Chains A and B, each alone.
Chain A
Amino acid sequence: MKINELIESHSELTDTAASKSAVVLMTRIRLARNLAAQPFPGWAKDAQKREIRDQCMQAVAALPQMKRGLAIPVETLDELQKQILVERHLISRELCHAKSGSGIVISKDQSCVVMVNEEDHLRIQVLRAGFQFKKVWATINQLDTDLEEHIDYAFSPKLGYLSACPTNLGTGIRASAMMHLPALVISSQMEKVVRAVNQLGMAVRGLFGEGSDASGSIFQISNQTTLGESEEGIIKHLHGVLTTIVDQELNAREKLLETDPNKLFDKIGRAFGILQNGYLLNSGEAMNLLSLIRLGIDLGIFPDAQRAVVDRLFIECQPGHVQHAAKGAFEPSQRDVLRGERLRAEFAKVVAPDFSHAAK
């Protein structure tokens, strides 16, 4: 598979028509792994790094799970291609900035990715739309076991899998969920949630944009500690926290509908109006409007089938995707025009909101 084929084909996240998940958009697990007796990528000489990359990429690409996927050195990708992969949550920003000697292997359906020579020799990642920790863990566990057949991992019985950064020691696992929490944001409860989650030893990040700039009310919640607890234990612990947050979000939605439905319907109705008629939309505004539409779908105001379209637009409204669709490099102001054009076309097809189901 070539990079352009991969970009053109539907990905796990941009084609999730089956996803009925109201709150959890995506489940992701990554494992940090390193080769025994080789310097970590940050300390290896360029020639060593390339050697390590070739060995890792060969082993990974040969796995049955990666059949007919993409295996490519990072330096052969242009900036826009890398940005698109970041926007699809397939690779990290850190890997984009890697000077040389790094690589990417992506499965055909874009649900398994291995980054080679990012911070660690191997960052294995599996992602799935929806709330699916069991399935994602089973997949990545198998992928890791299969890879172990061909690679001697750096492992210590006491410290577990050895990683470049001691914060990843032990299991090397980072399990995370991407959550859509508009009602918690609208009712100003997000700060409270963030604090509670932090106290449980987990991290919350706004997913699009840096830091807490959570445009689209989308947050990523993940475990922070990796040593002293089994993978299953870590996942179970996180799963419990996420389930609580889902409940909180659904309760907050009920509460909004009970106390001031008109205010909520007004937000959703206006979002629809702007998406159908706006001419200039930056990515932050587009995300926030799409977030309200997604909330509207969950409340029965728009048809269920629309959810997959919105989930796809969340990604396709990002700057890299907008430029790719328009086949060129564009200034932010020009991108706003292109984004508006795309959203108008997309929302011209959507039937007008019907608030009668949501109203009590």
Chain B
Amino acid sequence: MANPLKCDLCAKPATVHLTQIVNSKIHKVDLCEACAQAKGVTDPSGFSLADLLLKASLNPEPAGVDTQCESCGFTQQDFKKTGRFGCPACYNHFGALLEPMLDSMHKGSTHTGKVPQRALARKSLYERLTQLETELDQAIKAERYEDAARFRDEISQVRSTSDRKAGAKHED
């Protein structure tokens, strides 16, 4: 035996070898005695393979260039330590790191479930309003008064739809 397997979590010689099928994909995890104990692997009911796969897939990378989420200052090292992210924007920033993990962790890598329709509608309405206001400003500055009148109309239209929605909400 040339290369004894190393523990996926701490790189000591591995003595516990697990094979599990999650969503018809085969996953292998090799652990040392101590990590197996710590993760509750010896007790088959107490461990979550998803959690384990997450930690294992994080470990092998050497500590190289560390990057930081612009929104919250979270680093790749922080993620490796905790297996958690710092803020929602981290998912954009660390997307490349995350992508290969998702497949082994989940059934797929694209969301197919519920969508927060109301919140998204609110957001797009807000964005539309901001955009129209900018266009209105520009039209006034450029003395394009016909355009400005049109933007003003549109703005009041968007505002009244959002008011109507808010009104309906209070009634029920």
A interface with B by C-beta (< 8 Å): 34, 36-40, 42-43, 119, 141, 144-145, 148-149, 151-162, 164-167, 169-171, 173, 191, 194-195, 198-199, 201, 203-206, 210-212, 214, 219, 224-231, 233
CA distance A155 to B114 in the complex (A): 10
In the bound complex, residues from chain A placing their C-beta under 8 Å from that of B88 are 34, 36-38, 40, 154, 156, 162
Contact A38:B118 (CB < 8 A) given known A195-B44, A225-B105: no
B107 CB contacts on chain A under 8 angstroms: 201, 225, 227-229
Alpha-carbon separation in the docked complex, A214 to B43 (Å)? 12
Kindly identify which residue among A38, A159, A211 contacts B91, using a CB–CB cutoff of 8 Å.
A159
B106 to A: closest C-beta gap in Å: 4
Measured CA separation A211–B46 after assembly (Å):
4
A192 to chain B, nearest CB (A): 11
* A167-B51, A224-B22 as given contacts; A204 in contact with B91, CB under 8 Å: no
Q: Select A211's contact among B45, B72, B115, beta carbons within 8 Å.
A: B45
A156–B45 touching, CB < 8 Å: no
Kindly supply a per-residue 1/0 record for chain B positions 1-42, scoring 1 wherever the CB is within 8 Å of any chain A CB and 0 otherwise.
000000000000000000011110000000000000000100
A171 touches B49 (CB 8 A): no
Question: Chain B residues with Cβ under 8 A from A206's Cβ?
Answer: 45-46
Q: How far is the CB of A271 from chain B (nearest CB, A)?
A: 24
Residues of B within 8 A of A211 (CB): 40, 43, 45-46
Q: How far is the CB of B125 from chain A (nearest CB, A)?
A: 12
B interface residues with partner A (beta carbon < 8 Å) = 20-23, 40, 43-46, 48-51, 54, 71-72, 74, 78, 82-89, 91, 98, 101-102, 105-120, 122-123, 169
The reply to whether B101 and A38 form a contact with Cβ atoms under 8 Å apart is no
Q: How far is the CA of A166 from the CA of B97 in the complex (A)?
A: 11
- Give 11 pairs: A residue, B residue, CB < 8 Å, sorted on A: A39-B72, A39-B86, A40-B84, A42-B84, A141-B114, A166-B101, A167-B51, A194-B44, A194-B45, A201-B107, A212-B43
The binding surface of chain A is classed by DSSP as loop
Q: Kindly state the separation between the CA atoms of A324 and B155 in the bound complex, as whole angstroms.
A: 60
The answer to whether residues A159 and B20 also contact, given A167-B54, A204-B45, A206-B45 and a CB cut-off of 8 A, is no
Q: In the complex, how many angstroms separate the beta carbon of A341 from the nearest chain B beta carbon?
A: 33
In the assembled complex, how far is the CB of residue B22 from the closest CB belonging to chain A, in whole angstroms? 5
Complex interface: chain B residues within 8 A of A141 (CB): 114
Among candidates B21, B102, B117, residue contacting A169 with C-beta atoms closer than 8 Å: B102
Q: Is A201 touching B22 in the complex (CB atoms < 8 A)?
A: yes
Say what secondary structure dominates the interface of chain B.
loop
Closest CB of chain B to A241's CB: distance in Å?
13
Contacts of A155 in B (CB 8 A): 115-116, 119-120
On chain A, the residues within 8 Å of B116 by CB distance are: 148, 153, 155, 161
The answer to whether B45 and A227 have CB atoms under 8 Å apart is no
B109 touches A228 (CB 8 A): yes
Residue of B nearest to A222 (CB): B48
Residues of B near A145 (CB, < 8 A) are: 118
Cβ contact within 8 Å between B86 and A226: no
Further pairs besides A40-B85, A152-B119, A155-B120: 13, Cβ < 8 Å: A39-B72, A40-B84, A42-B86, A157-B115, A158-B110, A158-B111, A166-B98, A167-B105, A169-B102, A194-B44, A199-B20, A201-B23, A212-B43
B78: chain A residues at CB < 8 Å are 43
- Please indicate the chain B residues that have their CB under 8 angstroms from the CB of A160 in the complex: 111, 113
**Which B residue's beta carbon lies closest to that of A234?**
B113
**Given A166-B102, A198-B20, A228 and B44 touching (CB < 8 A)?**
no
Least Cβ–Cβ distance between A182 and chain B, in angstroms: 16
A-B interface, 9 closest residue pairs, ranked by CB to CB distance from nearest? A228-B108, A160-B111, A211-B46, A154-B88, A228-B107, A227-B106, A43-B86, A171-B113, A212-B45
CB-CB < 8 A to B46: which residues of A? 205-206, 210-212
Selected contact of A224 from candidates B43, B48, B113, B117, CB within 8 Å: B48
Partner pick for B123 among A152, A164, A204, CB 8 A cutoff: A152
Give the docked Cα–Cα distance between A204 and B115 (Å).
Answer: 29
**Which of the listed residues B21, B88, B120, B123 has the most CB atoms from chain A within 10 Å of its own CB?**
B88
Chain B residues positioned under 8 Å from A162 (CB to CB): 88, 91
Residues of B within 8 A of A225 (CB): 22-23, 50, 105-107
Across the interface, name the chain B residue whose C-beta is closest to A154.
Answer: B88
Q: Residue B106 contacts which of A149, A169, A214 (CB distance < 8 angstroms)?
A: A169
Query: Chain B residues with Cβ under 8 A from A36's Cβ?
Result: 88
Closest Cβ–Cβ distance, residue A148 to chain B (whole Å): 5
A119: nearest chain-B partner, CB-CB: B84
Across-interface contacts of B45 in A (CB, < 8 A): 194, 204-206, 211-212, 214, 219
